[in-house]
């Protein structure tokens, strides 16, 4: 017995020493990685700097209460100015003393998103969260499954198919204009435009994405009420991302949601409710789509995305087909990606026009004259020719204020990031490339890239629509050649995880702004100040609010056409 006791004691000591060595080596790798890279000091070993710099309003949702962790004025400004402070790449502290990268150097971003995109995969925590909420859709899948889904969906977002959808965009936009005009016919009025822009974006993606109407814009529904809370709920539960992998493998979606409802966290339970509402509606939409396909129904506004996908699915070889579960997930994913991001972008344009009445009037004159001189409807697909100032306003807004400020990647193997613009290390040496170890979290700084003064000039952070009306600097064209991205900017990313619906979003923005600006005049309330909080996306709120619920009150006045 003594021998056994000695053996156990001896093995325990060995295990303890081995564990300490492994843990020490792991910690050394985490702390020593990017040792020479510049970056902000880490105020806490436990939390690092990620909550301070990467999120304007990071909230901890415990027992249904919201705790504002940082000031809503740090994150976006830091991301936008990181070039001026540290250069095209910087280290920052993450949990338990770890080191991650925030990257906005053009060549490094091209390496991450295009050249070596298979080495930089979507952050697994976000993929897991998206799986729990939407199912195995385009935002949730990785590797080969993602590529297969994207291949099936891409034709539905082509310019050719979008041309057929333009009359639908115009119809819904005119419905929105009519609804708002009726509210201000007796005089100017303060209106929270986010409510109406969300309904507009939902109806557009409903008809164009699924061949389905969610109802009149004037009437709220259980589905519209649930989806308008989706982004806020997702942003609020991000601190609980560690639970996602556990819940993901608990079994079927219904069982996972049952377990989620048992967790005493009111925001998580709310998110489960929203996911249930979305899936129920998606199942109904898929059932109707399959019936229409079987009956060869073709009397819709145009070839919608899901209809095109289902037809392609039926003619594909079995190994390339998507399951019904995947199609349902695409429907929910389309609602999430197309509603909040686009309505936020449209809201930002209206807010900027309200802040800059001279730009608003110049745009109104252009649109009005274009409509007066057109024998037929304006070709919104060729807006650079038809409405160049509108095109400039939208491009500049998307550049300076991208709806999604940053994206997340994780390295799948050791690699090296080359830099277009060398940076100076903490020891004074010049750094031309950065070795990156497998498993490193990399933050793709979209705002930082769009505000890079080495690309856009010293006025990079200023909102100047006129810059698009003349020849852009050679440094901007170089970025276009390097990455092949939209309008020389990173707003829609690049590579195989770039925004698949960027043409859809642009067309939607062009149409609704052109129609609203003709008959409505926008200004800001004198007694309220709008701030844009940084979470998973930019969210308008009343300044000083710690809420993630969007709110954008504007004074709207009816104009005679």
Classified as helix, coil or strand, 419 is strand
Written as one string, the DSSP assignment of 492-541 is T--GGGS-TTHHHHHHHHHHHHHHHHHHEEEE--TT--EEEEESSSEEEE
Annotated binding residues for heme, written as ranges, equal 499
The full set of domains in the chain, from first to last, is: 36-138+404-461 (3.30.43.20)
Strands (E), 146-274: 189-192
For residue range 390-449, what is the model confidence (pLDDT) as tens digits?
A: 999 999 999 999 999 888 899 999 999 999 999 999 999 999 999 999 989 899 999 999
Tokens encoding 134: 């939407």
Cα–Cα distance between 426 and 470 in angstroms, integer? 40
Classified as helix, coil or strand, 101 is strand
Distances (CA, A) of 490 to 91, 164, 315: 21, 27, 35
What's the whole-number mean pLDDT along residues 36-59?
64
Torsions phi, psi of 321, nearest 5?
-75, 150
Classified as helix, coil or strand, 416 is strand
Cα–Cα distance between 446 and 104 in angstroms, integer? 7
* Residue 316 near residue 511, CB atoms below 8 Å: no
Q: If phi over 0 gives left and psi between -120 and 50 gives alpha, with beta otherwise, what is residue 344?
A: alpha
Cα–Cα distance between 278 and 487 in angstroms, integer? 33
The pLDDT confidence band at residue 164, using thresholds 50, 70 and 90, is: confident
Judged on CB neighbours under 10 Å (0-12, 13-18, 19+), 432 is: exposed
Judged on CB neighbours under 10 Å (0-12, 13-18, 19+), 23 is: exposed
Q: Across-strand partners of 558?
A: 520
Cα–Cα distance between 129 and 192 in angstroms, integer? 30
Cα–Cα distance between 422 and 476 in angstroms, integer? 18
Considering 48-62, 191-205, 219-233, 532-546, the range whose residues carry the highest mean pLDDT is 191-205
The pLDDT confidence band at residue 66, using thresholds 50, 70 and 90, is: very low
Classified as helix, coil or strand, 415 is strand
Annotated binding residues, written as ranges, equal 499
CA–chain centroid gap for 489, Å, is 15
SS3 content of the chain, % helix, strand, coil (to 5): 60, 15, 30
The pLDDT confidence band at residue 46, using thresholds 50, 70 and 90, is: low
Classified as helix, coil or strand, 417 is strand
Q: What is the pLDDT of residue 92?
A: 82
Please identify which residue in the block is written with the tokens 């119809």. Answer: 171
For residue range 282-324, what is the model confidence (pLDDT) as tens digits?
A: 999 999 999 988 887 765 545 789 998 999 999 898 888 999 9
């Amino acid at each position: 017995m003594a021998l056994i006791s000695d053996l156990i004691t001896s093995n325990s000591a060995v295990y303890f020493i081995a564990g300490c060595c492994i843990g020490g080596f792991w910690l050394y790798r985490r702390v020593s990685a990017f040792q020479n890279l510049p970056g902000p000091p880490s105020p806490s070993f436990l939390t690092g700097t990620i909550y301070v710099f990467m999120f304007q309003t990071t909230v901890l949702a415990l027992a249904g209460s919201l705790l504002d962790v940082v000031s809503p004025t740090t994150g976006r400004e830091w991301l936008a100015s990181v070039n001026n402070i540290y250069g095209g790449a910087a280290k920052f502290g993450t949990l338990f003393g770890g080191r991650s990268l925030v990257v906005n150097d053009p060549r490094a971003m091209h390496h991450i998103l295009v050249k070596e995109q298979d080495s930089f995969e979507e952050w697994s925590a976000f993929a897991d969260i998206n799986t729990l909420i939407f199912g195995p859709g385009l935002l949730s899948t990785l590797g080969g499954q993602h590529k297969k889904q994207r291949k099936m969906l891409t034709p539905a977002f082509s310019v050719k198919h979008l041309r057929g959808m333009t009359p639908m965009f115009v119809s819904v936009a005119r419905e929105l204009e009519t609804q708002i005009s009726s509210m201000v016919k007796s005089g100017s009025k303060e209106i929270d435009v986010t409510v109406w822009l969300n309904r507009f974006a939902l109806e557009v993606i409903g008809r164009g994405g699924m061949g389905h109407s969610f109802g009149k814009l004037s009437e709220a529904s259980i589905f519209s009420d649930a989806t308008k809370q989706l982004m806020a709920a997702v942003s609020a539960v991000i601190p609980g991302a560690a639970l996602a992998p556990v819940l993901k493998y608990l079994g079927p979606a219904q069982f996972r949601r049952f377990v989620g409802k048992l967790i005493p966290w009111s925001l998580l339970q709310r998110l489960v409710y929203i996911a249930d509402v979305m899936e129920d509606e998606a199942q109904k939409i898929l059932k109707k789509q399959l019936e229409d396909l079987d009956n060869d129904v073709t009397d819709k506004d145009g070839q919608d995305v899901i209809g095109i996908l289902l037809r392609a699915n039926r003619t594909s070889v079995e190994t390339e087909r998507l399951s019904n579960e995947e199609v349902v997930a695409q429907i929910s994913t389309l609602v999430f990606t197309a509603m909040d991001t686009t309505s936020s972008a449209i809201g930002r344009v209206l807010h900027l026009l309200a802040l800059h009445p001279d730009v608003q009037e110049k745009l109104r004159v252009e649109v009005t004259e274009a409509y007066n001189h057109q024998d037929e409807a304006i070709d919104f697909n060729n807006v650079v020719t038809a409405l160049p100032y509108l095109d400039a306003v939208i491009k500049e807004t998307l550049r300076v204020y991208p709806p999604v400020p940053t994206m997340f990647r994780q390295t799948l193997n050791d690699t090296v990031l080359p830099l277009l613009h060398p940076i100076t290390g903490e020891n004074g040496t010049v750094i031309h490339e950065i070795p990156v170890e497998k498993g490193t979290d990399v933050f793709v700084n979209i705002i930082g890239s769009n505000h890079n003064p080495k690309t856009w000039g010293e006025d990079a952070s200023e909102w100047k629509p006129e810059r698009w009306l003349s020849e852009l600097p050679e440094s901007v064209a170089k970025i276009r050649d390097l990455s092949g991205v939209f309008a020389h900017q990173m707003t829609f990313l690049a590579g195989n995880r770039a925004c698949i619906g960027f043409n859809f979003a642009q067309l939607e923005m062009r149409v609704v702004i052109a129609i609203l600006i003709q008959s409505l005049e926008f200004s800001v309330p004198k007694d309220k100040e709008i701030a844009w909080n940084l979470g998973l996306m930019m969210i308008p709120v009343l300044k000083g609010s710690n809420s993630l619920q969007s709110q954008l009150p504007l004074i709207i006045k009816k104009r005679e056409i």
